[in-house]
A and B are shown apart, each in its own frame.
Chain A
Amino acid sequence: MKITTPEFKSNAVDALANENLQKAMGHVQVGFIEKRKLAADGLPEFEALRDNARDIKDHTLAHLDLYLEAYSEKVEESGGHVHWAQTAEDARNIVLDICRNAGAKTVTKGKSMISEEIGINAFLENNGIAPIETDLGEYIIQLRGEAPSHIIAPAVHVLKEQVEEDFRAEHTHLDIDRNLEEPETLLDEARTVLRQKFIDADVGITGANFLVAETGTSVIVTNEGNGDLTQTLPKVHIVLASLEKITPTLEDVSQILRVLARSATGQEQSVYTTFSTGPRRETDVDGPQEYHVVLLDNGRTNMIGTEFQEMLRCIRCGACMNHCPVYHAIGGHAYGWVYPGPMGAVLTPSLEGVEKGGNLPNASTFCGRCESVCPMRIPLPKMMRHWREREFERGLNPVTQRWGLKVWAWFARRPRIYAMGARYAMRAVAMLAGRKGSLTSMPMAGGWTKYRDLPAPEGKTFQQQWQAKGGS
């Protein structure tokens, strides 16, 4: 997928001016936050489970090579195949080969962020194979030719009126006068249209929430049941998973499951948690005849042993973006790649390079809400700061910003001059503001004063007050 992260600033300006998007984003701010809180408060062991979930992943990452070996041995033992992909391109070619060997014309897909990361849909289409997204949100954005704007609610930026337009444009075989005003009727229509596609597909592609080393099992967590129809009905099931999805045991999966749904949607448990191990057995009367796992690296091994390793604990619940004021304001598309919000601000520069992704760690107020709700206790603000430091070290940020920081640093290292400067600057601003006590415009702060007045400082500087209180 083409990355537009370098244009983050103009993306964000467009997003702020997009009325439909702003209306749709209102739904995020209300629903997700309250539901998560109720679910977390409803389980007394929730915080202890977060600690244990963090410890399980830390242990796994410290032994990742060994758990991957154990996992792949178990997959082969159960009759499945593991394909190791170092890059997105490798993964695409592996998937295409499997589809061609199966003589596939259509491929149904469960929701998978890895499939977005490697851009499999466009690639399959260019090679004459039709991919069909079956998760309702993914189906909607596939019709719209868009990327997901949220990792668990991909069409969160779309209004129901827009879905109606898309369905009318696509489902031209249906009665033109049908009523599609309500989400209920839209859902029913998608259910009917997709039902036959599930049955006709030659290959089903799903993602994985976990890969279990103990048993060689892949696990998907869904609410609709589309992932299960995708992987049960076709003759070939392909699992797309990045290698940090490895989890040692079924017990470890259970521990993390308890924090996953609660953090994501505020459910105690998602509707369908499905454990898949190998292809159909002799005793089975349904299920796929072939089972393939594509294990993707795509830059993740570079993060191991670095200050960004903790990001590999992420279980893609979306809580960080659900609680992020920047995400609320601009939605997911402005971030310009697959992963938005705070987790995307750390992951995008890690996987795509700080040259392309460096804008994102700056799109944060460091309010800390993301870290406070992250079920895996990932220190997201700290890692965004690491990226800012790297960006500065490599001279990637704009000249004005670097110059401003240098000026500030010169003063900051000279406390006397700094204190004096602050006193004079305060008085000057207060004088400019006059009796009104606020400024409607200010040089070099036009972006800020365009939307609100700048209150003029009153009283004494922080350092003066601190000294008066006897601080040192």
Chain B
Amino acid sequence: MTEDTNKQEHATLFLGCPEVPVQMGISLYLSYRLKKSGRLVTIAANPSVIKLARVADPERHYMDKMIDLDRCIGDFAEKTRSTDIAILFAHNDAGITYAATVRYLHPGRLVLVLFGHHAEELVSSVDFPCEMIVEKAVHDPAGLKKKLDEVFQWPA
């Protein structure tokens, strides 16, 4: 469910398998930036990512609201949860499959971040409407950070 206030935009980050190191760092950064720009942020992630986030951010400064990825998608399907912006991170076919699922369940803005060794190859498998960020980032988040900054145009 979109949270209690009608004034704040709600962003949901969907994070998949954490095996590509850059995902954790860039998603912490993105969550921080989204919160700093006045948005409510929810992290939907698999249990491994949630464990990593809890260790990296013990006081929940950057990632406070976290929910299991499949439960979140179930809530969208049951229409008990929604968001204004969905941001998905994908580095493999499963990530694209999750993104297609969210695209079907969420009619609003969807930003798909393709990263990792196969980022460019994955582009051809995306046949649904979305804003796409593509960066062959594995360890270095600088390129992804630059592109996310361009897409979101954070207020100064």
The answer to whether A and B assemble together is no
A residues apposed to B, CB below 8 Å: none
